[in-house]
Each structure stands twice: as structure tokens, then as C-alpha cells.
A = this chain, B = another copy of it.
Amino acid sequence: MIQMKNVIKKYPNGIIAVKGLNIEIKQGEFAYIVGPSGAGKSTFIKMMYREEKPTSGEIRVNGTDIAQLKDKEIPFLRRGMGVVFQDFKLLPRKNVYENVAFALEVIEEKPENIKKRVSDVLKLVGLAKKANMFPDELSGGEQQRVAIARSIVNTPKVVIADEPTGNLDPETSWEIMRLFDEINARGTTIIMATHNKEIVNTMRKRVIAIENGQIVRDERGGDYGYEF
């Protein structure tokens, strides 16, 4: 479903964050992206939903090269993907419910469906009681869970999560991971950048290790692999 060929990303400040990536991730896969801080994981992820445009190379999502996408078509690419941003990116003037509902409003879902679906998802991430609170009234972990809820609410074909458990305690982290595993079992592709060794080593999946903008390892059922 996602293929990259010789993808290079050079930021305007001259930093080459991704130096020739070649990868294929198939529909239904579950892949961890691991690697040191600043390795290029987020850049790699951002190019999949076109937050960043590759400097050169080809990125195919379901066959179409999204580097060539017209501005108008980008929203439709993004609707098929649920993204958990590393910095959450919640709308500050919308409460928890509205933040999650927004992903459904965007695809013009019927209001009655929205209500039901949002409540269900908020229950899944343990925030049913905080539906009316605003992001700045939430703890770090609660904000992260809102971001997760928003990413899965419209049952996308891929969930792309950048460090989704960085602010969560281990117990909540495992709940989220079980949630992802379940969704994955129903056919959703999961791509997740993480620094959580325990999760990667326990819930064995494909591991793609990036260092210095290049893939240095790509194993099915691999382990986190960085020892210290």
C-alpha cells in the first residue's frame, strides 16, 4: 500500500533528514519505526501523508505517486489515514469531543453517526468522562489519547502514529497497543514510530530501523535492537 523509492528529503535549512529511502509496507502490516533521536523517523512519516513533500523520489500510496498530488487531492489522501502527531496537534478551541468529531465532520459523516462513534472511541481510550474538557485542561497523557482517538475514529486504512505512547504510563500504553493490535487484526495497516523498547520487544512486529536518514535494518518480528 505504501512504497517509497529513493526518497530524499532536504529541509530548507539544508539538513538532509532522509537520504534515499526504499521501502514497501503492505496493506494490513504492522511496522515499528525505530532509531535514535533526530534519525528522520518523523520526516519519513510526515511524507506519507504529505505534511512534507519529498525533495526527490517516489512515494506511492495505493498506487498513486503522492509527490505529484495536486493540492486539491491531498485532503482525500489524508482521510484514508489516521495520524497521531508527535506533538498531538489538537485544536485548542475545541473540546475533546469536538476534536475527535472533527475527523468525521471532515468526511461529512451524518451527525447521528458522529455522536455514537466519537463516544465509543473516547471510551476506548479512557476519556469518556473528559469529553467536554479543552486540551489545555488535560494532562499530557490525556492529550495524547485524544490524538489517538482522533486518528482511529474514522476507521482509516492506515494508522500512522508518531511516538504515541511517549506520555503514557506503561499500563495505558499497553491498552493503546492492544487497541492498535485489534485494529490491525481487522486489516488496518499500522505504522508507528517509537522509542519504547519494551513494547517493540514484547509485541513482535516488523521493525524498520532508521539511522541518519537511512534504513539500517528491516526485520519481521525483529526486536528493538538498541542496547546501552
A57 at interface, CB cutoff 8 A: no
B167 with A133: CB separation less than 8 A: no
Given A166-B167, A167-B195, A195-B168, check contact A38 B141 (CB 8 Å): yes
In the complex, per-residue mask of A130-155: 1 if CB is within 8 Å of any chain B CB, else 0: 00010001111110010000000000
Q: How many copies does the complex hold?
A: 2
A82 at interface, CB cutoff 8 A: no
A198 to B198, CA, bound (A): 9
A11 to B133, CA, bound (A): 12
A51 at interface, CB cutoff 8 A: no
A75 at interface, CB cutoff 8 A: no
A35 at interface, CB cutoff 8 A: yes
A228 with B174: CB separation less than 8 A: yes
Please report whether the interface of chain A is mostly helix, strand, loop or mixed according to DSSP: loop
A13 with B195: CB separation less than 8 A: no
B226 with A37: CB separation less than 8 A: no
B170 with A197: CB separation less than 8 A: yes
The total of chain A residues at the interface (CB under 8 A) is 37
- Which residues of chain B are within 8 angstroms of A140 by Cβ–Cβ distance? 37, 42, 86-87, 162-163, 166
B141 with A171: CB separation less than 8 A: no
A55 to chain B, nearest CB (A): 15
Interface residues of A in 148-194 (CB under 8 A from B): 162-163, 166-174
A80 at interface, CB cutoff 8 A: no
A36 at interface, CB cutoff 8 A: yes
A169 with B142: CB separation less than 8 A: no
In the complex, per-residue mask of A21-44: 1 if CB is within 8 Å of any chain B CB, else 0: 000000000000011111001100
Residues of A within 8 A of B (CB): 11, 13, 15, 34-38, 41-42, 86-87, 133, 137-142, 145, 162-163, 166-174, 195, 197-198, 224, 226, 228
